Amino acid sequence: MDQGSEPLAAAQLRAEFLAGDDLPKRMDRLIELESEAIKLVEYEPLKLGAIGSAILDLNPGSLVGHHVLQRFYDHVDAAETAREHGAWAHAARAAMSADATGAVDAPYNAVTPIEAQIFLRSQGLSPVGAIYQSTEAAPLLMMVQGRPERGPLQALHFTLLGIYHAAEHGFAEVADETAFSPLALIGLLARQGDPAAQTAVGALLISRDRLDDAIGWLQAGSRFDNVIANNILARIHWTRANQADSGDERQAALDESLDNYLQAIALGSSEAMYALGALYLSGAFGDDNADTAIPLLKQAAELDNSDALLYLAHLHYAGNKVAKDRKQAEAYFVRAAALNNEAARLSYARYLMRKRGTGDSRTVAWLEETVEDTANPEAMLMLGNLHARGVATEQNLRAAYRWYRDAAKAATDNAQIVNEVAWTLAVSDLKRLRRGRFANRIMTRMMQGNEQARSQPEYLDTWAATYAATGNFREAVRLQEMALQEAIHGDRDDVLDILQQHLDLFLAGKPVIEPAP
């Protein structure tokens, strides 16, 4: 066999299979044969000879056909023929991988769902769940989760244009072409017993608030070790437990939720480990399970679940349920932030600001990446804080002001962020950072358009401080007296003293100056 020609030959043969006029009929037969082959491939390889040959008669470039025949010839001690099919299997994988990474925007190309599963197995992954998706670029995608011998589950995406085009032709033969759509195809596959399709239908029905129907489809999809269906079912039953009208109904829903979380954990889901660990800690399943919570969270953390890492960081920082350990907390913060967890990056930056040390230089790069990806105004605010105090970077007050300005611009409807930016720029002890007029402008715009903010003493306090920063003490006094009245009316004894201190300053013609951020 000419090894150099195999990748081209495999790609060409696969394309020829998909281009045939009788594709729907051949696709039905191919799926039938591949379904039989995958039942036998692990434990009964000696039965694969005839099936593998029949698959290759239909699709000579099939990864499934060459894979099962390699297994067959290995077991009958025909080493040379086994190597030949191994080379063709390699060529088929190369054709599937052309210009692809397995990401949702660069999926591998599979003719059938079973070919996708065999591809996963060739990468050392055991398929543990799948769901169909549809995008504008790829009308029929299958996301498959695979479990390695060690490490977290991996998600790979595959286009299934073969099935899509076969079904499209089939619909055209029996009905109006307008009846065909990705959703119609997924529905058909679900009715035919495809677990990935059944899970997709269940997920769709949840979005349409048809939970009873969704549960039925998801239960069907979970019968064959589908970790995706288990995780969705666990969340649905947990929601139902919280909405239950009776104790018996609540307990039944809790039991269903727990069963599905445990099944997902058995399949290697760190998502389920984290979720169940958090629920155990909250006491949702009773006090008896609290001791199991931390080991579950640590198990998820070892599988690089960034949410579990972040949760453990907060627990160790506060000394809640675990020993208080700032060094351990910081290590968890860093691991979660390095995994591109946006909340972890923000939490780590806040931690460094509280610590007031030199900080971790990676923090600024992580936050800048977050801003680039999501335009998150809180990340902009934290970048302003870090530059203002020289934490994790050199002090740069001009850069700090630019980040504060960008945060306020990006968060015009976010009262909390506008308030924090305005407070910092109005009262900071860093003279070159103070921008009283800008602080007053953004705070006035926000307060005039936000009735709820105008009833909050903290926001009124900031608004008053921005007027004081511009020298308008009469307006500062008026607003500060309003802040005091709102605090008294709302029984906010926790802020009365500081509000009074600020009022005394304004009455004396002095602005508030304090370390900020």
**Overall average pLDDT of the 42-67 stretch:** 95
The vertex-463 CA angle with 457 and 467, nearest 5°, equals 140
pLDDT of res. 173: 57
The tens digit of pLDDT for each residue in 6-39 reads 555 889 999 999 987 889 899 999 999 999 999 9
Dist CA 22 CA 33 (whole Å) = 17
pLDDT of res. 7: 52
How far is CA 513 from each of CA 423, 436, 495, rounded to the nearest angstrom?
Answer: 10, 12, 18
**Overall average pLDDT of the 79-106 stretch:** 95
Q: Tell me the pLDDT of the chain averaged across its residues.
A: 93
Q: How is the chain split into domains, by residue range?
A: 3-126+167-180, 269-319, 433-517
The tens digit of pLDDT for each residue in 392-411 reads 999 999 999 999 999 999 99
Residue 133 has φ and ψ, to the nearest 5°, of -135, 170
% the chain with pLDDT above 70: 97
Q: Residue 116 above 60 pLDDT?
A: yes
The tens digit of pLDDT for each residue in 367-380 reads 999 999 999 999 99
SS3 assignment, position 285:
coil
Work out the end-to-end distance of the chain between its first and last CA atoms, rounded to an integer number of angstroms. 70
Q: Residue 3 above 50 pLDDT?
A: no
Residue 459's CB is within 10 A of a number of other CB atoms, namely: 25
